[in-house]
């Protein structure tokens, strides 16, 4: 879908939400929206980019949007699910994923969590030598059909966002491949454990260029080849290449695409696509971000120091990363009138503020937009992943409702409630005191 087509769909969805009362200046001042048709289109593009083979499992990274109805939609579209906690595992099972379609990654898996995963047959990627020892103990008394691998850190360096880069020389994730003695120790670990049949890596996500990601995956594949050569058998049969395709937050264009990503992988590590290995991917942000937006009413406006400020109901509670790291996580803002129509008045610089009680709660500073008035609506595109789905409970602000939307060929919009708005009632009122 073109950038202009996405903008049109956003406005159709927004206007329908106002007409149907899903956005209301008194009863529903903030909500998240997910374009479910767009989600399915994105999943199709992901599947089409990789070889058409049952040996590829695309496991959606649940952390990017852990709402169970969203996970259900992704399951129906043909994806698996990658989880990184007991909570996400429970959500994946609630969404109906078969254990064989789930991958469990976490640097801090408890013994009980590992027993559960291994008993169910969920794939497990060990994050450390100590975790491998724990797996030894469990597998001594538990039979398991789980695919088990080791997460290696290829130590290829950082992208532009250090916090999103997981293949640095000192990353907390995985076993560092280049640290002294580790390669030999890992080779011995595979030799001693015939059930160790996968290699996993994840270089990072937002801010990581494709070349960096591809180099890290190439090192993981090279290590898998080394294991098999040293052991004289094809013990490693699968490569989990993680996710990490960065998202363009500057416009509605989806760049880079999954096809570009796969082309870069083919250049760096063609053996990955030779048919010798099963493949798992773990994309999250790139599947959901551009298929969701946040909408909030402007409650008040004021001018301070000569600069207009719009006080809205969307702030740090639904855009935490943007508020606390605005230079790293900038978001676009769109101005709409109370009926949801895009405003066309002369753009002026203004601040877009949230409701949280601290001075830095700003979605945008000195942003040039049509002048916002009380009762208008701001739309924040590209927030389908990590934003409204995992709110920050500052000031005990309630979780907003999240709605899935579908648009038929005639432009009619229908909605599905994905998460109800959190009710705000004092306990004393509920108790009748």
Q: Which domains does the chain have, with CATH numbers?
A: 3-35+289-424 (2.40.37.10), 37-287 (3.20.20.10)
pLDDT at 51: 79
CB neighbourhood size of 339 (10 A)? 11
The confidence score (pLDDT) of residue 277 equals 96
For residue 21, give both structure tokens.
Answer: 């009362």
The residues, ordered by sequence, that sit 6+ positions from 336 with a Cβ below 8 Å of its Cβ are 11, 14, 295, 342, 343, 376, 377, 378, 379
Distance between terminal CA atoms of the chain? 54
Query: Which residues are CB-contacts of 2 (< 8 A; sequence separation ≥ 6)?
Result: 252
Residue 54: what pLDDT? Answer: 67
- CA 201, CA 241: separation in Å to the nearest integer? 5
Q: How far apart are CA 76 and CA 389, in angstroms?
A: 20
Distance CA 387, CA 374 (A): 24
Tens of pLDDT, residue by residue, the chain (433 residues): 555 688 999 999 999 999 999 999 999 999 999 999 999 999 999 999 997 666 999 999 999 999 999 999 999 999 999 999 999 999 999 999 999 999 999 999 999 999 999 999 999 999 999 999 999 999 999 999 999 999 999 999 999 999 999 999 999 999 999 999 999 999 999 999 999 999 999 999 999 999 999 999 999 999 999 999 999 999 999 999 999 999 999 999 999 999 999 999 999 999 999 999 999 999 999 999 999 999 999 999 999 999 999 999 999 999 999 999 999 999 999 999 999 999 999 999 999 999 999 999 999 999 999 999 999 999 999 999 999 999 999 999 999 999 999 998 888 999 999 999 999 877 665 565 5
Rg (CA), the chain: 23
pLDDT at 428: 62
Question: Alpha helix locations (H) across 232-335?
Answer: 258-268, 285-288, 320-324
Position 167 scores a pLDDT of 93
Quick one: which H or E segment has residue 257? none
């Amino acid at each position: 879908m073109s950038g202009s087509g996405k903008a049109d769909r956003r406005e159709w969805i927004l206007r329908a939400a106002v007409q149907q009362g899903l956005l209301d200046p008194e009863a529903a001042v903030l909500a998240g929206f997910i374009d479910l048709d767009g989600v399915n289109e994105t999943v199709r593009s992901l599947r089409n980019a990789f070889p058409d083979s049952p040996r590829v499992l695309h496991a959606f990274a649940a952390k990017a949007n852990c709402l169970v109805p969203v996970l259900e939609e992704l399951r129906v579209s043909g994806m698996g699910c990658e989880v990184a906690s007991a909570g996400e595992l429970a959500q994946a099972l609630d969404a109906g994923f078969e254990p064989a379609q789930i991958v469990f990654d976490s640097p801090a898996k408890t013994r009980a969590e590992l027993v559960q995963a291994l008993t169910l047959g969920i794939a497990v990627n060990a994050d450390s030598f100590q975790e491998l020892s724990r797996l030894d103990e469990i597998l001594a008394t538990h039979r398991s059909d789980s695919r088990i691998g080791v997460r290696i850190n290829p130590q290829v360096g950082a992208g532009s966002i250090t916090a999103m880069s997981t293949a640095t020389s000192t990353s907390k994730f995985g076993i560092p491949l280049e640290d002294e003695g580790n390669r030999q120790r890992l080779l011995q670990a595979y030799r001693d454990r015939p059930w160790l049949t996968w290699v996993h890596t994840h270089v990072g996500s937002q801010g990581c260029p494709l070349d960096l990601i591809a180099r890290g995956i190439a090192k993981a594949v090279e290590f898998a080849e080394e294991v098999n050569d040293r052991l004289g058998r094809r013990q490693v049969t699968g490569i989990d290449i993680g996710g990490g395709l960065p998202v363009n937050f500057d416009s509605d264009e989806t760049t880079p695409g999954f096809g570009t990503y796969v082309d870069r992988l083919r250049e760096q590590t063609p053996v990955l696509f030779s048919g010798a290995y099963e493949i798992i991917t773990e994309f999250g942000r790139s599947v959901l971000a551009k298929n969701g937006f946040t909408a909030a009413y402007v409650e008040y406006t004021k001018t301070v120091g000569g600069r207009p400020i719009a006080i809205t109901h969307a702030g740090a509670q639904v855009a935490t990363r943007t508020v606390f790291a605005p230079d790293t996580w900038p978001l676009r803002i769109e101005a709409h009138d109370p009926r949801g129509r895009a405003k066309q008045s002369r753009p002026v610089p203004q601040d877009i503020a949230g409701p949280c009680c601290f001075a830095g709660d700003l979605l945008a500073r000195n942003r040039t937009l049509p002048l916002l008035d009380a009762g208008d609506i701001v739309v924040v595109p590209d927030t389908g992943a990590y934003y409204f789905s995992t709110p920050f409970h500052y000031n005990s602000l309630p979780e907003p409702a999240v709605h899935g939307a579908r648009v038929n060929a005639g432009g009619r919009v229908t909605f599905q409630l994905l998460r109800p708005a959190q009710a705000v009632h004092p306990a004393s009122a509920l108790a009748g005191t």
